[in-house]
Amino acid sequence: MTEPRKAVALISGGLDSLLAARVMQEQGIHVEGINFFTGFCVEGHTHAIRRRDRDRPKRNNALWVAEQLGIKLHIVDIIEEYKQVVFNPRHGYGANLNPCLDCKIFMVRKAHEWIGQHGFDFIVTGEVIGQRPMSQRRDTMPVVSRESGADDLLLRPLCAKNLPPTRPEREGWVDREALYDFSGRSRKPQMALARRFGFEDYAQPAGGCCFLTDAQYSAKLADLWRARGDKQYELDDIMLLKVGRHLRPAPHYKVIVSREEGEGNFLQGYRNQYPSIRCVSHPGPLALIDGVVEEGDLELAARLVARYSKGRDQERVTLEYRDRDGATRELVVTPLRPDQIPEAWHL
């Protein structure tokens, strides 16, 4: 008996990749999943941080999809390598700082490397022509195949009939006639196929899977780059952009103010990396200071933090300033009034 052909499927956790992998299984292909973590994946972060969201059921959709399919899932940390995609996307950004086409090329390239290392035959994605304005168009599909180096080892089972035959089809590893010709933004064909396979519970159509597609998040990342004079970031930077209110009273520093207890607990973990301010005379937030502050800046930052405390209407509020080394001192300030906080400070 011959060994079945082996494919690795890019599993995002959404419906399309679930279906693409299932279509391959139906043809007797041995499928394993691969999921890349860029640091910008939405996947439950806000949910994990915020206290009020903690009791809501949560799951990692890529793991859940793999479990539904009965396949192994390999989750790969690409945080460091992915920076070059974010900094210098050859094909540019989308509406925000989302480098969708370069991202897809990068992930398929990584999958291509992976199949070479693990003895797999080809790569499967859930792409559909016309589904996405930047990365899933008729003219960009060949770009992804070519620039990733995967060439005709990249098979898109959901729209394969709209594309030239790939090697798995030409060699008879898969039956092209049993593949699909989906196109456009309608989700109806996918939903019908999901019903046929008996999938009733699946993640809503993707689109919100990456923070870089979010306008507010992208604005905060652009601000970070401006303030540092360099397009750089570390994982902690991009995690912190997901948490709290970010206000920049001056170009050389910003204040990250927790909005509720869970965020306060999360920010607490960064107190050895950033100076912090917390309210001690009244219930209030924890705030981190990102930048180098002078004495005058510190007073303004403290007044700003006091504004978000329960003492916001009091004449005097006491806060504790803590530097990175743990040295503390007391600050007594008058909270800023709302009209003293310019809209432009809010990132």
Minimum distance from residue 254 beta carbon to other proteins (Å): 21
In the bound state with other proteins, the residue whose beta carbon lies nearer, of 72 and 337, is 72
Minimum distance from residue 66 beta carbon to other proteins (Å): 5
C-alpha to C-alpha distance for 283 and 43, rounded to whole angstroms: 31
3-state SS, residue 96: coil
Minimum distance from residue 45 beta carbon to other proteins (Å): 5
**How would you list the strands of the sheet with 73-77, edge to edge?**
73-77, 30-37, 6-10, 122-124, 154-155
In the bound state with other proteins, the residue whose beta carbon lies nearer, of 16 and 43, is 43
SS3 of 14-75? CHHHHHHHHHHHHCCCEEEEEEEECCCECCCHHHHHCHHHCCCCCCCHHHHHHHHHCCCEEE
In the bound state with other proteins, the residue whose beta carbon lies nearer, of 270 and 308, is 270
DSSP type of residue 161:
G
The residues of the shown chain that bind other proteins, judged by CB under 8 A, are: 35, 37, 41, 43-45, 47-49, 54, 58-60, 62-64, 66-67, 70-77, 239, 265, 269
Minimum distance from residue 118 beta carbon to other proteins (Å): 12
In the bound state with other proteins, the residue whose beta carbon lies nearer, of 136 and 258, is 258
List phi, psi (to 5°) of 187.
-100, 0
C-alpha to C-alpha distance for 151 and 311, rounded to whole angstroms: 62
In the bound state with other proteins, the residue whose beta carbon lies nearer, of 43 and 147, is 43
Minimum distance from residue 105 beta carbon to other proteins (Å): 22
